[in-house]
Structures are given as C-alpha cells and as structure tokens.
Structure 1
Amino acid sequence: MCHRILLAYLKQFTHSCNRRVDFNCLVYGAANSIPVLTMMLFTSQDTILDRQMTSTEGSLYISLANIGAIIGTPLAGYLVDYLGRKRSMIVCVFMPLISWSLFVFSNKVEVLLASTFIVGMGGGMFVIIPAYICEFSQDSIRGTLASGTLIFMILGILISIVLSEFMSYKTITYIGLTASTIGVALLSVLKESPTMLLKRGLDDEAAKAMAFYRNSKPDSKIVVQEIEKAKQALAPQIEENIPEEEKLTAEFGKKPEEKLSKWQFFKNSKSTQRGLFLVMTAMAAGIFQGMSVIQSYSIPLFSEAVPADVLSPIWCTAILTGLNLVSALVAGYLTDIAGRKVSLVLIPLLIFSNPHSHSYISCR
C-alpha cells in the first residue's frame, strides 16, 4: 500500500514538474530574460540589429513583456474554461515559440519589440498551470507542485544568464527555439484535467485521467473519492445565513436553482471576495517592492555599481537570480510544510528577493 502511494506521489511530481509543464516555464523564463541580457548591446553603436535602438525603444524593449502579460493573463483566464486546461496551456506556450522564432530570424528593431510583447502574452500560463496542477495533485504536495511553475521560470532565467557569458546571442536563440519546440510537443500528449472533463460531462474520461495521476484503477476507492470531491468543487455553495431547519424544510417542493454567472457568484460569495482581496494585496505588496524593475535593469545597474574587473554585470545578475531561486524554493517548501497561513505571514519577509512568491498561496 505504501509502495503504491509513493509511486502515485512520484508520478505526479515527475509528470507535472520535471517532464512537461515546468519545462515550458523554464523556456518562458529564458525567453523573458533576453531583453535584459541584450538591451545594452542593442542600444549601443556595436548593435547587431539593422539599426541602433533609441533610449525610448530600449525602455519599451524591457517593458513590453509586462504590457503583454497585462493582456495575456485575463485572456488566459477566459480560455482556461472555454478551451480547457490543456489547450489553453498549448496556446500560451506557443507565444514563447513565436517569440524565439522572431529572435532567430529577424534583426529588425520593430520585430524584436513585437517578439518581446508576444512572449509577455505567454505569461498567462502562470494562471493556467497552477489551476491545472491543483485539480489532480495530492493535497499534501499541491503547493510544492504548483510552486514549480515559478521555480522553473526563475531557473530558466538563471540558465539564460549563465549561457550568455559563454555563448553568442544567436546561439542562445537557436537553443531557445529548439527547447520551445520540444516543450510544445510535450504538452500535446498531456492529459486533460479531470475537473475539466467533468465539466464537459465526460465522467469516464475524468476517472481515467485521475487514475493515471493516482497510479490506480479508474474504479478504485481513491479515484472515486477524488472524482466526488471534484464534482463538489464544481457546484460550490454560496454562504447563506439561513438556519439549518429552514434549509431542510425548503428542500421539499424546491424548484431547480438557476445557474449563477461567475459575476453573480462572486457578488454573493464572501469567501471568494476575501480570497481575491488577499491575493491582490499580496501581489501589490510584491510589485511595490520594486524587484521587478531591479531585475529588468540589473545589468546596467551592476555595470555602474560594480567595477568590471571585480565582477562582471552578468555574474552579478546571476547571483541576484540565484537568490530569487533560493527564496522561491523556500516559499514552495513552506506552502506544504508550514501551511498557507504561515506562508502568507512569512512570504512578505522573503518577498524582497522573490516578488512572485505570493502566487503559492493561491493553491488551496
């Protein structure tokens, strides 16, 4: 019995993190780091582009990824229910693939600005992937698995930074394009989320998908229990201050309830409102720490602050990213070991080195 449980845990971890989903997060992180690594080169007279970038274009080159994320993230929130988890992830990972292709085959300033915007739109995967993972993973390792998205994104940034010290810009873009193509292929054979299959009325397919992740049979007890739990999650109850006796009396002769829209449910659900306020507050706190700006302009900042003969700006940026990675690992570990509440209190203390760590608390 313990052997089967261990296999189920291992299968979930290797399947969702190491082999497919998080590999695409790594590729996204590497693509997202290209503007940081090349801005000084492209704005200098030694540029390899068709012309030198102006200072305004250089600022846009750094910022357009964030602007793309503003558009891509709400769009991903819509697609995740319309297309399903798997197809939505494929749409998002196509964005870095397109961006890498533009980096490889074009040297025009306008095209590179567009590629930066496109890769930012792929940031919607950080809405979809945690939702996908949380719908089939064990409760005891859910936070760790979901935290892999940001951990691997930071790891991708770190790998790209280190490679830039030893390889040319073109070589890195060819590697990125190859890796992105592999990532799309890996996702194409991924199974759909059991919860999404239940929403479509495909109960048998949902049981098979859950059995795959639980390393069990579709009719086993644990799979049946998880499917019932997922069905309950699909029909959430709005909090009402009605005595239990009145609820029981009202059930007789009760008409079928009208299905509430998402906005109507949000207005009537106090717990959902509190959860949104909590996450938005944590996100705002992380952004106002200013680490995103420091990361974006880290190479120019370190080139001014640290003499090149002491330590190169690339290695200074690598150290900064390494600290990001350590804090992400700590935050992901605390999410499951110490609980969400403890993580919520401690994460602001770590947020100076990883402003994205607030995302871990969203995995219930």
Structure 2
Amino acid sequence: MSLNNGQSLTVGGQDFTKNGGNSSRPPWEDARAVLRPSTPTRKPKSPKPENAITIAVSSRVLFNMEKEQHIYEQQGMEEYIKYQVEHETEAFSPGPAFSFVKALEAVNAKLRELYPESEELFDVVLMTNNHANVGLRLINTINHHQLFIERFCMTGGNSPIGYLKAYHTNLYLSADPVKVREALAEGIAAAIMFTPEKMKEVSDTQLRVAFDGDAVLFSDESERICKAHGLDKFFEHEKAHENKPLDHGPLKGFLEVLGKLQKKFYGKGQRLDCPIRTYLVTARSAASSGTRALKTLRSWGLEIDEALFLAGAPKGPMLEKIRPHIFFDDQMFHVEGAAEMGTVACHVPYGIAQRVVKKGTKDKETPNASK
C-alpha cells in the first residue's frame, strides 16, 4: 500500500485517486472498503466465569468417541494417544450433547443482540480427563463443527471433578457415572448422559429442557415416604404437607439460571417468543400430589413453562412430542424409556431410589414406578 504525490493510493495493485476521480471522498475511504473483510472473522468474547452460566461437558458426550474409547479399554492409554495423534485431522462426529450445546449458542446469539454488553451468557467448558496430546484433535473438531468453545480442561487421566468449582460450573454432563456421583457429592448439578440409538431432530431456535420432579428439582423426601410406606401413605403425606415447600434437589440451581435468562427475554417483551422453554415431566398425579410440586416452585420464585403430570404413565411418548434437547430423571426406568423414543436423556444418580440395600448384597440401582 502506497500514497504518491498525486494523492493516488495503491492497495494490492488497485489505484484510488482523489484528483480527477468522480468521488469526493479521500482515497483512503475507498481503500478501507477494499480492506474490510466480507464476513466478520472475529469470534465473540468469552464471558468472565463468574458472570456466565457454565456448562461443563465431557468430550465423550459432546462427540462420538466410541471407537476411541474401545481402543483405550482394550489396548491401553499409549495406543489410545497414538491413535488420536495419527487421526487428529479427522473430526469426531456429534455426540448426544452436541445439539444441546448448539442450542446454548443460539440463545447466546439472541442475548448478545438484546444485551450487547452483558456477560450473562452460557459458557461451555470442555472438561475431560484426556491427555493433552488429544487436544489438537478436539480443537480441530470444534473448529470443524463451528462450535464456540474456548475453555478446555484436560487432566491427563486424573479426575477433572476438582476443577468444576474453579470454573463456577452450573451443570456437568458426562458419560462416566463415577465422575457424575463425585460432582453431585460436591454439590454441583450433574448427570450421566446417554446416547439414543436414533436421536430425534430438535429445534435449532429454542432451547428445550425437561426435568423430572422428585430427586431432580426437588429432594427425595416424598420418595422416601413412598418407599417406606407405599403409595397411599405418599398421597396422604403430600396432601397434609401441600403448603410446605419441598427441599431443593440437585438440579434446582440449573433451573434457576435458566429462569434468570428467560426473564432477560421477558424484559424485552419476548415472553411468547422466548428461546428457552422449560418442562416439568413427572409421574406424580395432578390432583393427588401435584399441588405441592407447583407450590414449591412458586415459593422458590421459579416458573416452569409446561407441567405434565402423568400419574404413572410412561414419559417417553410425551417427551417424543416435546423433543427436548435434554431430559433429566433420577430413575433409569424413565431414562431408558425416553432414550428408546429418541430423546437425549440424562440420569441423575441421586436420592433413595438409587439404592435397595439387602443384607449380603451390594447396593444397586432400581426403577421405581411411583413417580
């Protein structure tokens, strides 16, 4: 680029001349238009962790790494790392959390339009115990799929759970039951994510999150009554305590941050067009035990967009209609039923329903059809 005495500015072999030209603008104004890229190349700035809603996802739920996991289990860490390095230019295909993360990014884009200076945004952290040598393949995959993930935590075989609080994590998703239980024990909302054989298509403009009630949003208090004394006593207990709010469950905090973002859209007159929608999908019956659930949410100052009381009916068909990006339940019976219908379902291993203690046997997970 050069400017000669005749005020002719040359950029990449193209001349822009002030004297003798038809334009009254200085030559550098015309040159600036040439230099400006046709599409923005700058990524949005990541929010500060203390201001963001942080979603930590493991690489095995964000991407399909079944083949690589098999190599690790059958041949060990060294062969696993070697394979990953040899194939680091090959992108992983999407995993069960992929559509959820894309939906988070879609919400962020709309929030940035309405609140350009706000850092109250979703921030996705790739949290994995992979070795750092696998990092290049993960970065290449993220760029290939055009995901906005800037924060990585790669712990080289050690558990990443100790870092979750440092990242101000609001939700942790993993395929590893041990790590999820560790996170829950630390008071962090967490769930084991499963991959349906065939995932249903979900909305690319509205984030949809479905929650079970007891032992997910609420404590397992009512389930304990049901297990100890049966359904009749459960209904009696709920009726007698319908004005006493239930204690919080492990995912209450995640519903709170979703509600906080929803109110930002409501504040701009977008209640009906809000890009976040929440669902309560519970096997409670409305007349017998639904009152306490709804009053509990109200006492917390939380709204749920849709409440489905199924009175013991299967959840899978309803979830197929909702098509959420993610569904949380504390019982594998419901998780498996949802997955069979193509819903990305997560197990929250929390509460009394996880254990049946028998003398001389180990604790085991068991379904409970009461909710």
> TM-score by structure 2 length?
0.24
- Higher helix proportion: 1
- Higher strand proportion: 2
Whose RCO is larger (CA < 8 A, sep 6+)?
A: 1
> TM-score by structure 1 length?
0.24
